[in-house]
Structure 1
Amino acid sequence: MKKYRIAVAGCGNMSNTWIDYVAQREDAEIVGLVDIRLENAEMMAERRGLKVPVFHDLGQALFATDANLVFDITIPASHKQVVSTALQAGCHVFGEKPMAESMEDAIELLKLTGQTGKRYTVMQNRRYLPQIRALRDFLTGGTIGEIGALHADFFIGAHFGGFRDLMDSPLILDMAIHTFDQARMILGKDPVSVYCHEFNPPGSWYKGNASAICIFEMNDGSVFSYRGSWCSEGFRTSWEADWRVNGSLGTVKWDGVNPPVCELVDDSQPPQFLMPFKEIEVPIEWKGQEGHWGCLDEMFASLEQNRAAETDASDNIKSMAMVFGAIESSRTGSKVIL
């Protein structure tokens, strides 16, 4: 019997990535597929050649398969039920973001991890790229001085169809969690307040607000600004967003795809109205797997080493606070203290 016996909850297209990852691990196996629509689980088993039982009820699946780890790849509305069922059954959980559809539910799940002694770790795959790791490490070195502001632009016209088109806050709840979490990682700081304006511009195919502008104050006094839209056609950014970090000595930019670039004030030149600059290399040294596989590597490593993962629920709850604080600010039209 392999060490990690995994029940997969949710058999949509995203499940393929997680299943592919398990296939390359010698210590893990898929022991059951679960979907509220049993035919989805049956099709996934047939398509992937998995000789495992299928279920429409997670509790039944965990009892029948003796699973000790659950992959929660369901829609956000199902996360609370799936995660709580798994934790109470004695399973660790690796889940897709967001933790839950409300801050109250997210807090309840975090408390449940403490009560059960099990780990709940959240997929934040956009942390696991060489470029963002390089950006974070470069800033830690203090090369651009004291950081005053971090700015992120995210503009993509995403025609998903399905549940996202019907959400009240599709951009903030389902996507901005990535960018907000990246901001916390890049700065190594946490938010203390937010002001947000959500809106749904002309031509949007979403029912809810698919665009937003947010201003976060961080606990070191710096400011993180976010401009985003999921219904912006033309000149789209990368999925990793477009970033600018302003420091007291210079600026770093990252387009989400290419290596970050840095300009510093050139102290060797005489002062001018517009100061001369010199370009500084941002070294890229991280060699880990990228994206989902990099995050899954960290998730499994945390279990092996009996520690919290980088994206453990106890950390991810802070990114969730940014999400629900922004939604609350938009709803009330006022700054929200986090």
Structure 2
Amino acid sequence: MHKCIVTGLGGRGLHWLNQTKQREDVEIVVCVEPMEANRQRAVERHNIPQEKIFNSFDEALQNVQADFVLDVTPPAVHHEVAEKAFAAGLHVLGEKPLSDNFETARKVVEAGKQSGVKHMITQNYRFGAQPRTTRKVLAEGIIGQPGQCDVRFYIPWADFPGSHYVTQPYMLINDMMVHHFDLMRYVLNENPVSVQAITWNQPWGWHKGDAAHSIVFQFADGLVATHVACGCAVGSQTGWNGDWRIEGPQGSIDWDKEGTWHSHLHRTQEKINRQPVQHLAVPTSEQAILDEFFAAIKEDRQPECSAEDNLNSLAMVFAAIQSAKEGRKVELSELG
């Protein structure tokens, strides 16, 4: 049985709480939530006993024994929770993004390595059937060596007036695109070396920070990946995974919210052969994350989406933002 402290009872925290309740190998010993409104909602709507909700993480650590922390606090607080958990010898399963500051993220990763505990980030998108299947068929050579990857994202994102998603700059990239950039790394099985980004706002949008962009990542082997997004789309929408097309010398793999397909036409006039790709059977992404986290603890290995590996996804985020701010191509090595 894995004994857990949940930090953060906002909407995402309650979602994770419900996910853990579906398992027989997790016991929630206490929750931590400083905001009175969130505590009351948890008690009244989710039947969490009042005595099992502490106001501070320090108070929880002083009063209960646990094995790991499920951290669902805001990004700016993640490093505080992680460092206190490490000092207490607790493993950490943390919501993305790892941090709202790249240098802080690096320090947290190093602290986790020094403590010897497992530190995993919940990059849940990569555990879905489409990315899992696509990585597998690409590795099997279905289209040859990929040369181009194009991703499109059109969603009315974060229409929450007054929230930090709306008021702070570059939140579409910082909070949402860390999912897609992590997907790029996972599906293509390599890391980019440079990025060039331009960002803007639509006049009808509701975000104070730029919520539209065109971003180009370049990889060492010549692969180019583009990401185009509008976070205030009010017309037709993509799925949350985005619409993808990956091109190689032997065809393409493309996916949207309807499915995944393999197409092949080699410089002829014959009709394009477009076949559906059968998805792998996978558990829900949250359950897959918990499975991987507990397996890594049991087997004493680094989990997929370890905090150290996740620095590569976070580097894509901050390098893209730097490129947009400075109007130039940024080498990811510049982040150190």
Same fold at TM > 0.5: yes
Q: Which runs of 5+ in 1 are unaligned?
A: none
After superposition, the CA RMSD in angstroms is 1.7
Cα distance in structure 2, aligned partners of 1:203 and 1:258 = 28
- Residue 277 (1) aligns with residue 272 (2): yes
Cα distance in structure 2, aligned partners of 1:292 and 1:149 = 30
- Residue 259 (1) aligns with residue 255 (2): no
Do 2:259 and 2:276's aligned partners in 1 also have CA atoms closer than 8 Å?
no
Q: Which residue of 1 aligns with 2:229?
A: 228
- Residue 308 (1) aligns with residue 302 (2): yes
SS in 1 for 2:110: helix
- Residue 26 (1) aligns with residue 21 (2): no
Q: Which residue of 2 aligns with 1:165?
A: 166
Cα distance in structure 1, aligned partners of 2:144 and 2:251 = 7
Q: Which residue of 1 aligns with 2:61?
A: 62
SS in 2 for 1:171: helix
The one-letter code matched in structure 2 to 1:152 is V
What's the % identity of the aligned pairs? 33
User: How far is 1:232 from its partner?
Assistant: 1.4
Q: Which residue of 2 aligns with 1:323?
A: 317
Q: Which residue of 2 aligns with 1:201?
A: 202
Moved more, 179-188 or 13-22: 13-22
Q: 1:313-334 deviations in whole A, cap 9, x for unaligned? A: 1111100000000011111111
1:1-338 equivalences in 2 (<5 Å): 3-51=1-49, 52-158=51-157, 159-161=159-161, 162-255=163-256, 257-265=257-265, 272=268, 274=269, 276-284=271-279, 286-338=280-332
User: How far is 1:335 from its partner?
Assistant: 0.8
TM-score (norm 1): 0.92
Q: 1:57-94 deviations in whole A, cap 9, x for unaligned? A: 11221121122211111122221222222222211111
Q: 1:159-195 deviations in whole A, cap 9, x for unaligned? A: 1331211111111000000000111111001111111
Cα distance in structure 1, aligned partners of 2:160 and 2:180 = 19
Do 1:38 and 1:54's aligned partners in 2 also have CA atoms closer than 8 Å?
no
Moved more, 64-73 or 166-175: 64-73
The one-letter code matched in structure 2 to 1:144 is I
SS in 2 for 1:154: strand
Cα distance in structure 2, aligned partners of 1:307 and 1:42 = 39
Aligned residues: 329
User: How far is 1:283 from its partner?
Assistant: 3.0
Cα distance in structure 2, aligned partners of 1:27 and 1:236 = 38
Do 1:177 and 1:320's aligned partners in 2 also have CA atoms closer than 8 Å?
yes
Which 4+ residue blocks in structure 1 deviate beyond 4 angstroms?
none
Cα distance in structure 2, aligned partners of 1:145 and 1:63 = 56
Cα distance in structure 2, aligned partners of 1:207 and 1:320 = 22
Cα distance in structure 2, aligned partners of 1:300 and 1:19 = 16
